[in-house]
Structure 1
Amino acid sequence: MRALALTAKQETTTAVRALWFWVVALALVLAQTIAAQARPESFADLAQKVSPAVVNITTSTMVAANTDTMPMVPEGSPFEDFFREFRDRNNGGEGQPRRTSALGSGFVISEDGFIVTNNHVIESADEIIIEFYEGGELQAEVIGTDPKTDIALLKVVADGPLAFVSFGDSDTARVGDWVMAMGNPLGQGFSVSAGIVSARNRALSGTYDDYIQTDAAINRGNSGGPLFNMDGQVVGVNTAILSPNGGSIGIGFSMASNVVTRVVEQLKEFGETRRGWLGVRIQDVTDDVAEAIGLDEARGALVTDVPEGPALEGGMKSGDVILSFDGKDVQDTRGLVRRVGNAEVGKAVRVVVFRDGKTQTLKVTLGRREEAEGTVPAAQTDEGEEVAPSERDVLGLTLSEMTDELRQQLDLGPDAEGLVVRDVDVETEAYEKGLRGGDVITEAGQQSLSTVDDFETRIEDARDAGRKSLLLLVRRSGEPRFVALSLGEE
């Protein structure tokens, strides 16, 4: 009986070991399957699926002949006629215009022939030819352009429905996700490259920049082409590269699809963009600025100026910190600018601001940015009785009270008030933070200034309130900004 019991126990152990072996084997198979899904063996199926909607774009432009290419020779020299004949043969005659061409990429977004590309691909073009992957060419017309995001919308008329691709949600793209770029690099024709999302929310130089950075090879000629996710959706429009030699070094930038779709919708509907306009000048809130105004943390957008416009009509003031716009928190100026720009013109929005140590909700009806841009009021000057200004050194600043002579010297209006910075001690924090002679300090502690005594009073008030710094509103050439200066020891 004992022998039989041992045998049964051994059989059970063997069965458990066998089961464990199969569990481990199954786990390894599942791990390999997941790894295979994370790293596709081939992009061929995806490329085949989306290629028919990707196009090459050829543009041509008439430019004036270059009449400055003839070498400098003495007037009347026998070489003068020789070089003129050589230039005329190459230019088709003196003063004759010549046609230049450029290459780019794009993609079809609807079966009725709407095509998206970069504005710089078709800018100033006299003729735009669309070449399709499966053969054939069509001439395109420009529906609208947006230089701020470098996006253009074209339209072709075809005999039948065209293959097209759809936009995806660029906000779901994660760093490390696979992406595939298509286009016409260096004029070599249809080409595919693959890589990953290297970074998101990159800003280059534009107000509305929101770029996806990728290491998928992007070269000249790829501009305007699509950046696909693995579902075949467009998550970006290839726009720029960072390169010391003009070729791809693995740092390419695609304008995020969530920016592009908004622009395309407006270009399709209106032929132009219509962005919301709040009507304020703003700057980021730094740690020292937050401390100076009693804000719990550095967040929001600090209003430096409120000219005539929607914000002024809604009761906003210089020195307010915008914490929320249309129900969404504001982290910094870049986020606010994009959110306002994406808002509907004429929409009444609620704006939460931090003012005098507490929050306040304002209601602002947005204007249109395109109508407001470039409207800078001309500065006025006035001549009056000269008064010897009072000067004093405070916080490393040599300050002078405003006079009519100073208003004229600084090209200020007749009603301009504040303290003029005559000089700045180069060894002080004021100099490090960019204050210079000619600046005008109009507010301290979010209260207006007219005399140096006012300024010193604001310093004492801040110290009595336990503040470590004082917030100054500084204007230079009419442009305002806030600067927080440490008060130091008394």
Structure 2
Amino acid sequence: MHQFRHFMLAVSMLLVAGFTQAALPLHDGSDRELPSLSPMLKSVSPAVVNIATFSSQQATNNPLMNDPFFRHFFNAPDPRQQRQQPPRKRQQSAGSGVIVNADDGIVMTNYHVIKGADEVQVSMEDGRSFTAKVRGSDPELDIAILQIEADNLAEVPLGDSGKLEVGDFVVAIGSPFGLGQTVTTGIVSALDRTGLGIEGYENFIQTDASINPGNSGGALVSLGGELVGINTAILAPAGGNIGIGFAIPVNMAKASMDQILEYGEVKRGQLGIGIQDITPELREAFNLENGQRGVLVTGVSDDSTAKKAGVEAGDVIIAVDGEATNSSGQLRSQIGIKSIGDEVRLTYIRDGKVKKVDIKVGEPQQLTSTTGELHKLLEGARFENNPDGEGVLVSGLSPNSVAAYNGLRPGDVILGANRQRVTNLDSFKKALSLSKQSVLLHVNRNGNSLYLVIR
């Protein structure tokens, strides 16, 4: 017991030392140094804002008004003879955001915080409120960039999320449940979390710092006061916080922001390869070392940058620009933060030998149907070759489109169309030409197979 007390005392002293290095120490009445995050928060908190969004939704008439006997009893007019549209309802939601450029009034938040909003209001810690302009968004990463016109703004300096390690202390700042600015602390529980089905590009920081509804878009900062992530989601099977929260790494968010501010949108490129995760069976079949991680190349598109660089099916990619690649989701994120024309260095294994090659990120091989040229029933949809294997990925979809109304979702992988197998964009286009009045789609959604009829 005596040794245990000494051990705990030593641990406490280490924690105190860690905090005092990251934040200026305070003193109690006896002039003893006490660790505190207060000095850091005084500089960071003014740059974390509350976001309120307003949208107008068309109110629907009461279906009882369609009954002539009901209208006669209440002396109500026939809605079919009214020229006026039903009144519009005003809705409001709340989230958080982070000022990352005080001079230009640039605010970073989650896309789902401002999605469908007609008006976005940004409220400061000092009580000021401003109407924000949406500069652009990246729905696949769940990032949106706002701009406000205001003076005397604070900003959170951007850190390097690539230097984070499991066990690092972090602080989450946001406005949960509309309570106002709230600070919670925790550690980095895990890195490179993928396969959660939350976003199109996933490479999350996992933390046990408490994140709740309203924290979305808020800041995850290091003890040095640098922004390392944008809080975006929690795992809550019981409906409440259980200490598993996720944040978008700031390096990924910054890559999207830079493109949004320059082009108004994010232009992601591709290498032109099909990929899948390494399983124990594949590891044995390709004579890989026990425990070897990486991503298997299942195919290489003709005329792609990967083809020109000599990448072949059967290669196992183990790193991008020197950063280890452990899963197909991680590889998509590593390439997803690059701009078209950027050069990346792939490290891969072929026939037991480690090789490296420099490849330029190319234009995405995709089909768009924004005006119905692909098929009139798929207007407002965007498709690309499935980066994880055969099929065609639904990479974008207008929420008001016929396809969305009939059940198609972004992230769906189309395996067949009109009873024809779909392996890539070319076969998809040929299959669609077989029917003009309707489209039968065989879809894989999160591992589940289903059929959809688009009419």
- TM range, normalised to the smaller chain? 0.5 to 0.7
Q: What residue number does 1:149 align with?
A: 141
Query: SS in structure 1 opposite 2:41?
Result: helix
| CA offsets 1:382-423 (integer angstroms, 9 cap, x no match) | xxxxxxxxxxxxxxxxxxxxxxxxxx975479xxxxxxxxxx
| CA offsets 1:358-391 (integer angstroms, 9 cap, x no match) | 66666543213486761469x9xxxxxxxxxxxx
Q: What residue number does 1:427 align with?
A: none
Q: Is contact 1:226–1:236 with CA below 8 Å preserved after alignment?
A: yes
User: TM-score, length-normalised on structure 1?
Assistant: 0.62
- Structure 1 residues 250 and 66: CA distance shift in structure 2, 3 A: farther
Tell me the CA shift for residue 118 of structure 1: 0.6
Q: What residue number does 2:87 align with?
A: 96
Q: Is contact 2:186–2:210 with CA below 8 Å preserved after alignment?
A: yes
Equivalent in 63, 68, 79 of residue 57 of structure 2: 63
- Structure 1 residues 43 and 327: CA distance shift in structure 2, 3 A: closer
Cα distance in 1 for partners of 2:226, 2:306 equals 39
Cα distance in 1 for partners of 2:189, 2:287 equals 38
Counterpart of 2:316, as a letter, is V
5 Å-filtered alignment, 1:287-436, equals 287-297=280-290, 298-308=292-302, 309-326=304-321, 330-349=325-344, 351=346, 353-355=348-350, 364-369=359-364, 374-375=383-384, 411=421
| Structure 1 unmatched ranges of 5 or more | 1-26, 88-92, 380-407, 414-476, 480-490
Q: Which moved more, 1:113-122 or 1:331-340?
A: 331-340
5 Å-filtered alignment, 1:82-121, equals 82=74, 95-112=86-103, 113-121=105-113
Equivalent in 255, 263, 267 of residue 262 of structure 1: 255
Cα distance in 1 for partners of 2:178, 2:37 equals 22
Cα distance in 2 for partners of 1:74, 1:154 equals 44
Tell me the CA shift for residue 146 of structure 1: 0.8
Tell me the CA shift for residue 279 of structure 1: 0.7
Q: Is contact 2:202–2:330 with CA below 8 Å preserved after alignment?
A: no
Identity across matched positions, percent = 37
- Structure 1 residues 216 and 367: CA distance shift in structure 2, 3 A: same
- Structure 1 residues 354 and 261: CA distance shift in structure 2, 3 A: same
Q: Is contact 1:207–1:334 with CA below 8 Å preserved after alignment?
A: no
Q: Is contact 2:271–2:361 with CA below 8 Å preserved after alignment?
A: yes
Cα distance in 2 for partners of 1:358, 1:215 equals 40
Cα distance in 1 for partners of 2:322, 2:37 equals 42
Q: Is contact 1:276–1:343 with CA below 8 Å preserved after alignment?
A: yes
Cα distance in 2 for partners of 1:83, 1:239 equals 51
Counterpart of 1:60, as a letter, is F
Q: Is contact 1:118–1:223 with CA below 8 Å preserved after alignment?
A: yes
Cα distance in 2 for partners of 1:258, 1:363 equals 21
Q: Is contact 1:73–1:80 with CA below 8 Å preserved after alignment?
A: no
Query: SS in structure 2 opposite 1:209?
Result: coil
Q: Is contact 1:346–1:365 with CA below 8 Å preserved after alignment?
A: yes
Q: Is contact 2:192–2:204 with CA below 8 Å preserved after alignment?
A: yes
Cα distance in 2 for partners of 1:254, 1:83 equals 56
| CA offsets 1:32-67 (integer angstroms, 9 cap, x no match) | 654423467543333322221111111111111133
Tell me the CA shift for residue 207 of structure 1: 4.3
Q: Which moved more, 1:199-208 or 1:32-41?
A: 32-41
Counterpart of 1:318, as a letter, is A
Q: What residue number does 1:469 align with?
A: none
Counterpart of 1:59, as a letter, is T
Please say if 1:241 is aligned against 2:234.
yes
Please say if 1:272 is aligned against 2:265.
yes
Counterpart of 1:36, as a letter, is V
Query: SS in structure 1 opposite 2:107?
Result: strand
Query: SS in structure 2 opposite 1:216?
Result: coil
Q: Which moved more, 1:367-376 or 1:203-212?
A: 367-376
Tell me the CA shift for residue 84 of structure 1: 6.8
Tell me the CA shift for residue 106 of structure 1: 0.6
Query: SS in structure 2 opposite 1:221?
Result: coil
Alignment coverage as a number of residue pairs: 355
Q: Is contact 1:220–1:247 with CA below 8 Å preserved after alignment?
A: no
| CA offsets 1:65-101 (integer angstroms, 9 cap, x no match) | 133xx3669933347765979x9xxxxx862222211
Cα distance in 1 for partners of 2:55, 2:226 equals 33
Equivalent in 219, 223, 231 of residue 230 of structure 1: 223
Q: Which moved more, 1:228-237 or 1:343-352?
A: 343-352
Instruction: Name the structure with the higher helix share.
Output: 1
Query: SS in structure 1 opposite 2:42?
Result: helix
Tell me the CA shift for residue 168 of structure 1: 1.8
Cα distance in 2 for partners of 1:38, 1:62 equals 49
Cα distance in 2 for partners of 1:253, 1:79 equals 53
Please say if 1:170 is aligned against 2:161.
yes
Counterpart of 1:48, as a letter, is K
Q: What residue number does 1:51 align with?
A: 45
Counterpart of 1:219, as a letter, is N
| Structure 2 unmatched ranges of 5 or more | 1-6, 20-33, 368-381, 392-417, 424-441, 445-455
Q: Is contact 1:52–1:163 with CA below 8 Å preserved after alignment?
A: yes
Q: Is contact 2:53–2:119 with CA below 8 Å preserved after alignment?
A: yes
Query: SS in structure 1 opposite 2:383?
Result: coil
| CA offsets 1:429-475 (integer angstroms, 9 cap, x no match) | xxxxxxxxxxxxxxxxxxxxxxxxxxxxxxxxxxxxxxxxxxxxxxx
| CA offsets 1:237-263 (integer angstroms, 9 cap, x no match) | 111122245433332222122222222
Q: What residue number does 1:37 align with?
A: 17
Counterpart of 1:190, as a letter, is Q
Cα distance in 2 for partners of 1:292, 1:33 equals 51
Counterpart of 1:37, as a letter, is A
Counterpart of 2:234, as a letter, is I
Cα distance in 1 for partners of 2:15, 2:351 equals 56
Q: Is contact 2:203–2:330 with CA below 8 Å preserved after alignment?
A: no
